[in-house]
Amino acid sequence: MTHDEKQSLRDLNPKRIDVVLLMILSLFLFLAGLYLPIITVRKLWAHNVFSVLSGIISLWEEKYYILAIIVFVFSVIFPLFKLISLFVLWFVRLTENKRKRLLGYLEVLGKWSMLDVFVVAIIIVTIKLGVLASAKAEKGIYCFAASIILAMIITAMQNGLVQRREEVL
């Protein structure tokens, strides 16, 4: 095969059903992480429960537009782009050069992927330091984090398949 010949990673690794199953699981966990509550904040007698999406909407409604956009980009757009790219790498016929370039972009994006999880952790620690408020991590943050970690693992798996292929050629 030449560098210009187009093949998908699925074509090159037809028995690797594990990659497809992990991609589907990561997508499911990502969607669950967007909709399920990620944090519950209690202040005296009131409490608020936020999901990623409800948090973005709340920020927008409170006129924190820039913050809402930043959270939307890092929490929705980047992870979704990464998952779509992983599916493209697996199913779409690409030249080796395009495949390597896309994997390089995914590795750079991966460095920013856990930003949401860290922000929620910082919020929880900060609120726990206060006397009048408390915060609790909810299921959604664990789904979201698991999705991000799976996407990182899948990226490494696909990168490993590409690297092994280069060694063979």
pTM as predicted: 0.84
Query: Given this model, what pLDDT does residue 45 score?
Result: 77
Q: So what's the pLDDT on residue 7?
A: 87
Residue 117, pLDDT score: 67
CATH 1.10.150 fits 14-168, yes or no: no
Closest-CA residue to 6 (of 103, 102, 106, 97): 97
How many CB atoms neighbour CB 161 within 10 A?
19
Residue 129, pLDDT score: 56
In order along the chain (169 residues), what is the average pLDDT of each group of 10 residues?
Answer: 74 92 97 92 80 88 88 87 93 90 83 67 62 81 91 90 74
Domain boundaries defined on the chain:
14-168
37-43 β-sheet, strand order: 46-51, 37-43, 133-137
